[in-house]
DNA sequence: GGTTGCGCACTTGTATACAGGTAGAGGTGG
DNA sequence: CCACCTCTACCTGTATACAAGTGCGCAACC
């Protein structure tokens, strides 16, 4: 971590707490898409004054988790399934860039650590829960290696929205085998010191996740005859 | 413009005005990197109360144009030249994605319009000022065609930072000829309906811009003997 | 003279008070 | 019965008031 001047301060003010809480609730769907958020109600509910609530709403607004109403005030950002693809498209590019950067900075020990994570993922490949957990760890590891604060900051925003869609697709069916293989491909590219390949493979990986998410998000059309 | 639920509201409240003003001043360098911003001073200067100032600062904070101090309060985000490359890296991916989307949506008339912009750019190729202006228009045109609100929103943030570095490199020396050619390559790829190529070429274009900016930002080392 | 301790001024964070404006409900007239 | 108008209640945006914490300077003491 050399160039860190964003996201440097973990201070917990009341406003920050409100922000975190609302963010969580929006992402998990506790606060429904399109729901109007009124400051007095939120303030009363959370036991603070309107001021910290407003601060939190501004932060959320900048993240597009809430949208401004023409008349003032905000509501929880609507969830348009058609937009999911766009969100994943952006995520694919950002994570691809991270994979490239990680590749260019990874030391031998880092490569080994990534390999271990993939192996572990392979071991637990039958337990979706674990696959998801270890997989997430893999992505975070790459993010840490990349040490690209800019990309990370943007990715954090995008991830919030990705997680919204995930929460919507109740149980995301992970193509476990492919998932592990794709991660291994990324790890291999990094091990081989091939940044172009690392970026390409990571991007392809996210693209495939996007396709799965897209399917999970559009079950209505026609339940295929078993 | 079909899927627009972000950036939909142009309401001009005082807070918004403060935000726009401070943003402008930070980007142009009127407010120096690292400078401490105190709410009472800003409020008095701008003739408003602390409340709208705080709102504006939160927005700027979410954009990383100001950074939180450990003790509370904010200062203008420092400008680390080493980070310029990272910012351009992200921009390259985002604009690349936009080029792809634009390619997939462009109608014949759109293609013609892009071609005209490139031709115009070629005509004025000797006037840097004009090249920059028309070039910017070209990029905005592609952004509009792409109709990818997500990408646009993130790009807006990144552009703010790009512009900071630009303002720093007082007179960005545009490799005019290359610049025009690169734009033409993008337009051609879109005309040919080749999204992969459009993305690739656009990304390469920004990468080259990054290299130029990087040179412009590091004049100290050694003035090459003419 | 250097160092240490105290005190002050300033700043942030939060709460409250106030004015303008909007939407919605209800009543009245056609 | 429907449409229009009015009135009310609420919500946002802004300003101000208040409390706590921090850093800095000054002065006294070693």
Distance CA A197, CA A224 (A): 37
Candidates B6, B67, B93; nearest CB to A67: B6
Candidates B64, B72, B151; nearest CB to A86: B151
Judge: A93–B93 Cβ closer than 8 Å, yes or no: yes
CB-CB neighbours of A8 under 10 Å: 11
Per-residue pLDDT at A9: 38
**What confidence tens digit (pLDDT) does each residue in A138-192 have?**
999 999 999 999 999 999 999 999 999 999 886 666 666 688 999 999 999 999 9
Nearest to A87 by CA among A19, A160, A170, A138: A160
Q: Which residue has the higher pLDDT, B153 or A175?
A: B153
Chain C: positions less than 7 Å from a protein CB are: 10-17, 22-23
Choose the weakest-confidence range: A202-216, B32-46, B106-120, B212-226: B212-226
> Which among A64, A82, A93, A196 is the top mutation candidate for probing chain B, defined by the most B β-carbons within 10 Å of its own β-carbon?
A93
Tell if A208 CB is < 7 Å from nucleic strand D.
no
How far: A152 CA to C24 C1' (Å)?
45
Domain boundaries, chain B: 14-76, 81-217
A151 contacts in chain B (CB < 8 Å): 86, 89-90
> In this complex, which residue's CA is closest to the C1' atom of nucleotide C16?
A49
Q: Which nucleotide is nearest to A51 (CA to C1')?
A: C14
Nearest to B169 by CA among B224, B212, B206, B137: B212
Contact A67, A112 (CB under 8 A): no
Judge: B90–A154 Cβ closer than 8 Å, yes or no: yes
Nearest to B170 by CA among B216, B224, B218: B216
Distance CA A9, CA B106 (A): 44
The third-level CATH classification (topology) of the domain covering B81-217 is: 1.20.120
**What confidence tens digit (pLDDT) does each residue in A90-143 have?**
999 999 999 999 999 999 999 999 999 999 999 988 888 888 899 999 999 999
Contact B63, B157 (CB under 8 A): yes
Judge: B90–A94 Cβ closer than 8 Å, yes or no: yes
Give me the mean pLDDT over the A74-92 stretch. Answer: 95
**What confidence tens digit (pLDDT) does each residue in B76-102 have?**
999 998 899 999 999 999 999 999 999
How far: B99 CA to D8 C1' (Å)?
53
What's the longest Cα–Cα distance across chain B?
56
- Which percentage of chain B shows pLDDT scores above 90? 73
Judge: B93–A96 Cβ closer than 8 Å, yes or no: yes
Confidence of residue A214 (pLDDT cuts 50, 70, 90): confident
Contact B148, B101 (CB under 8 A): yes
Q: How far is A27 from chain B (nearest CA, A)?
A: 17
Does domain A14-76 sit in CATH 3.90.25.10? no
Per-residue pLDDT at A13: 77
DSSP for residue B77: P
**What confidence tens digit (pLDDT) does each residue in A7-61 have?**
333 446 789 999 999 999 999 999 999 999 999 999 999 999 999 999 999 999 9
**If you search the block for the tokens 């490139």, which residue do you land on?**
B118
Q: How far is B55 from chain A (nearest CA, A)?
A: 7
Cα of A15 vs its chain's centroid, Å: 23
Q: Above 70 in pLDDT, residue B10?
A: no
Q: Which long-range contacts (CB under 8 A, 24 or more apart) does B170-173 make?
A: B172/B132, B172/B212, B172/B213, B172/B216, B173/B212, B173/B216
Phi/psi at A75 (nearest 5 deg)? Answer: -140, 160
DSSP for residue B70: T
Tell if A219 CB is < 7 Å from nucleic strand D.
no
Judge: A150–B9 Cβ closer than 8 Å, yes or no: no
Per-residue pLDDT at B1: 37
**What confidence tens digit (pLDDT) does each residue in B164-209 have?**
999 988 666 666 668 899 999 999 999 999 999 999 999 999 999 9
Judge: A70–B148 Cβ closer than 8 Å, yes or no: no
Distance CA B161, CA B63 (A): 9
Distance CA B164, CA A77 (A): 30
Distance CA B185, CA B203 (A): 11
Cα A207 to Cα A90, A98, A156, A173, B135, distances in angstroms:
10, 15, 18, 15, 31
Q: What angle do CA B142, B161, B67 make, to 5 degrees?
A: 140
A64 contacts in chain B (CB < 8 Å): 6, 153
Q: Above 70 in pLDDT, residue B20?
A: yes
How far: B65 CA to D20 C1' (Å)?
28
Tell if B55 CB is < 7 Å from nucleic strand D.
yes
DSSP for residue A34: T
Nearest to B23 by CA among B52, B64, B51: B64
Tell if A54 CB is < 7 Å from nucleic strand D.
yes
């Amino acid at each position: 971590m050399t160039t860190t001047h964003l996201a440097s301060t973990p201070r917990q003010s009341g406003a920050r707490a409100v922000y975190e809480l609302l963010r969580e609730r929006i992402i998990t769907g506790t606060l429904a898409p399109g729901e109007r958020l009124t400051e007095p109600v939120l303030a009363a509910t959370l036991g603070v004054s309107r001021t910290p609530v407003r601060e939190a709403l501004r932060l959320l607004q900048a993240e597009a988790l809430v949208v401004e109403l023409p008349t003032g005030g905000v509501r929880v950002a609507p969830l348009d399934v058609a937009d999911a693809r766009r969100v994943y498209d952006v995520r694919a590019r950002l994570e691809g860039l991270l994979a490239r950067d990680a590749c260019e900075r990874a030391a031998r020990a880092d490569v080994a650590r990534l390999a271990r994570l993939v192996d572990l993922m392979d071991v637990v490949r039958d337990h979706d829960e674990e696959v998801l957990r270890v997989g997430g760890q893999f992505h975070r590891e790459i993010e840490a290696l990349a040490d690209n604060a800019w990309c990370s900051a943007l990715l954090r925003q995008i991830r919030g929205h990705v997680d919204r869609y995930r929460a919507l697709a109740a149980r995301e069916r992970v193509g476990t085998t492919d998932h592990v293989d794709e991660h291994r491909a990324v790890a291999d590219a990094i091990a081989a010191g091939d940044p172009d390949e690392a970026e390409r493979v990571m991007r392809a990986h996210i693209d495939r996740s996007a396709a799965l998410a897209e399917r999970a998000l559009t079950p209505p059309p026609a339940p295929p005859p078993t």
